[in-house]
Amino acid sequence: MEKSFEIATSNLADRGARVKHPSKRNLKVVDALPLLPDLEAFPDSGAYVTVKFNTNPVASSTAYDTRLLSGVFMPIERTAAEEEAWEAMEAAHKRDPRNNPKPSNMMNYNLFLADSADAGEKFRKRFDVDNPDNDDESLYTAQADAKDDGTSGAHFRFPRIRAYETSQEKEMDHTNKYDDEVILVYRDDETETKGRRDDSAQKAVYYYPIMQRSTIRSQRTKNIARTIGITDEDERHPDEIHVRVGEPSEAVKEDLQLFKQKPVGYFPGVEEEEEEEEGQGRGDEDADGSPDGDVSHMAQDDAEGELEDED
């Protein structure tokens, strides 16, 4: 590993002579950038999820629908009947895995998009931590009555597009989230353009870990069930969601900080158990009242949503 860095350093010291394109010999290196982890951009789960559509989720057009840059996926919970059927299949698999395949636990989702391209753009401005005006309430594009707690009724409208089901899925964990695939982002010098001074402010190519890769398609299984009359009368979907953007909770901020300190080795819930076991092993050593390392890991979305159900 160290040897590869030594070779790269020596090559970059003499780019013109030592760094060659593998097939186009007339090309020359014009710039070289470091490849770095973005320690400021961990989500509270410690990794990202990539989602690929099997087909175009919006009407065909010659222009890209920018609303897709800020779509919202909401998991669809299994109905009581579906949960009971899944548990029965799982129990059968555990009893006789040879003759009973493991049941799929793939998710179903509702997809919501902003009600206009302008609303999508303003939502992204509101969500952009580097936007100095991201707390401007005038960015919201819809209004409703204020809540009893005094919270403004301003929000973004995200109508429901359709339901999706997962057709393929691959899950990783914290031990291998960097091994299979990562997201790469080229970033200009943000120290100059946005006045940033954090660990991810320099001009570089940054990489981001992926914990899950999913391919989704328009929901088929339930559509077939509805066609043949197997439906759940309690199944309902929201017409749209109303979204406000707020600050993450203190618990989420603690998670983000821990992932920044340990981008690979931090496992929510596991370290607390280890600390508890260590405390038990020390006997009375902690009787001095020294604080434990307990951290709350209650996940909370950055966006608050209100639902409007279909009739």
Distance CA 95, CA 261 (A): 43
Query: pLDDT (tens digit, 9 = 90+) per residue, 72-93?
Result: 999 888 777 778 888 999 999 9
pLDDT digits 0-9 by tens, 20-57: 888 888 888 888 888 899 988 999 889 999 999 999 99
Top mean-pLDDT range of 108-117, 222-231, 262-271: 108-117
Q: Does a structural domain hold residue 279? A: no
Higher pLDDT, 19 or 139: 139
In a domain, 281, yes or no: no
**Structural domain tally of the chain?**
2
What is the model's pLDDT at position 53? Answer: 94
pLDDT for 286? 44
Please check whether residues 3 and 77 belong to one and the same domain.
Answer: no
> Are residues 17 and 55 part of one domain?
no
Give residue 28's domain range.
1-32
Of residues 234 and 37, the one with the higher pLDDT is 37
Q: For 124-177, how does the pLDDT look when each residue is reduced to its tens digit (9 = 90+)?
A: 999 888 888 999 999 999 988 777 666 778 999 999 999 999 989 898 888 899
Mean pLDDT of 235-259: 88
Question: Does position 239 have pLDDT exceeding 50, yes or no?
Answer: yes
Nearest alpha-carbon partner for 190 in 135, 129, 248: 129
Classify residue 287: in a domain, yes or no.
Answer: no
Same domain, 45 and 97: yes
Residues 1 and 138 in one domain: no
Banded model confidence at residue 191, pLDDT cuts 50, 70, 90: low
pLDDT of 288 higher than 50: no
Q: Band of the pLDDT at 295, cuts 50, 70, 90?
A: very low
Which percentage of the chain shows pLDDT scores above 90?
34
